[in-house]
Amino acid sequence: MLPYSKWRWVILALLFFATTINYLDRIVFSVLIPVIREEMHISDQEYGYLTGAFQVAYTVGFLVAGKFIDKFGTKIGYATAIVWWSIAAGLHALSRTPVHLGIWRALLGFGEAGNFPAAIKAVAEWFPRKDRAFATGIFNAGSNVASMIGPPLFVWLNLRYGWRFAFWATAISGFVWVVLWLIFYRQPDERVDDAEPQVTRKIGWTEALRYRQTWGFAAGKFLTDPVWWFYLYWLPPYLYDVRQFKMTEIGWALPVVYLMADFGSVGGGWISGYWIRKGWSTARARQTAMALCALCMPVAATAVFAPHAVLAIALVSLATAAHQGWSANLFTTTSDAFPKEAVASVTGIGGCAGGIGGFLFSAIIPGFVIQHFGYVPMFVFMGTLHLAAWLVLRRMIWRPAQT
């Protein structure tokens, strides 16, 4: 058996691949929606409703998943979530109408909500505080890798076998991961951080909600998760409808966007950890890294005004990189402030808030706004949200403590 210091990287690799699969299951729909939309005659507003079905279920699922994972543990909780969402992913291939798609999207969203509470809890169990943002950035980079390899892969599968086969492929990958997870995951044998808050009992939702840090994390997720969802859902249709990209061009443009997001995810997590190792306080390191990311977002939003498609892609790449750097640090605020026994529940509360924000600002509202006014209002709005969230976090999480 590998020693703890090395085994934790095996665990982190599993978290990375789980997050990759999570996003492959998620983005296959947005990548192939131009084809599915033509077959099933789906309007922009109906597409908004379909993304909304996912978001509503995802929101509810976070509350259930966080509590479930804290109760039954990371190993069983994570495996249950991936089995659920892999079944839901495969069911997409059976769809014949938009109603079918809506049902499967909802089931998928409910199951996929388990990924981040379980992964953040695993990081809290296996990594000391100074390394958690970096570890979170690495596993969270799986979402970008999925967004990078998914478009060309799904376009190729669609052209060769049809769009339904792509959903079967992602479902199978989830079941393979579950087998590996059940074989390799174990609880750490030693304490990873002497500064870790200690509890001798479980912390429930009611008690967690008494802390301003919980509300701060939830507000941060509510305001900034919609930005990621917006680009995830609406960038392919934007490139197809406004920039006149062909499906094959979309398949190669999106990987560029999400390759940069990978650098942002790992880099954003690394830089705050570097500052902590240099003697900065955890709060100072986190808020400085997140401020830099937030300042990038208004610049990135000018992509909608870019005269050339290449410049638009570059600016959207800046947005995804900055958001992922932000997320790597935002997620670690839960394990900074709470003991590992409560991390999944607090992450679930924040994820629920992020799901509500995503439902409103990246699903329902964009469907209406884009159909009637175009993409400009939404791009501009998305450029403001991280700055607003940073101000909220400064007040609710990083100010001197009084619980």
Pull the structure tokens for residue 364. Answer: 């329902």
Query: Which tens digits make up the pLDDT trace of 149-171?
Result: 888 899 899 999 999 999 999 99
Asked if residue 368 is part of any domain, the answer here is yes
Asked if residue 197 is part of any domain, the answer here is no
Distance CA(283)–CA(196), nearest Å, equals 15
Count of structural domains within the chain: 1
Pull the structure tokens for residue 180. Answer: 């590996």
Total residue count of the chain as it appears in this document: 403
Strand runs (DSSP E) across 163-293, as ranges? none
Asked if residue 262 is part of any domain, the answer here is yes
pLDDT of residue 403: 38
Q: What is the CATH number of the domain that holds 25?
A: 1.20.1250.20
pTM, rounded to two decimals: 0.78
pLDDT for residue 202 is more than 80: no
Distance CA(345)–CA(6), nearest Å, equals 28
Q: What pLDDT band is residue 203 in, cutting at 50, 70 and 90? A: low
Asked if residue 97 is part of any domain, the answer here is yes
pLDDT for residue 1 is more than 80: no
pLDDT of residue 239: 92
Half-sphere exposure of 191 (CA within 13 A, CB side): 7
**What residue numbers bound the domain in which 228 lies?**
8-185+203-396
Q: What is the average per-residue pLDDT within 238-244?
A: 91
Asked if residue 48 is part of any domain, the answer here is yes
Asked if residue 257 is part of any domain, the answer here is yes
Asked if residue 403 is part of any domain, the answer here is no
Asked if residue 376 is part of any domain, the answer here is yes
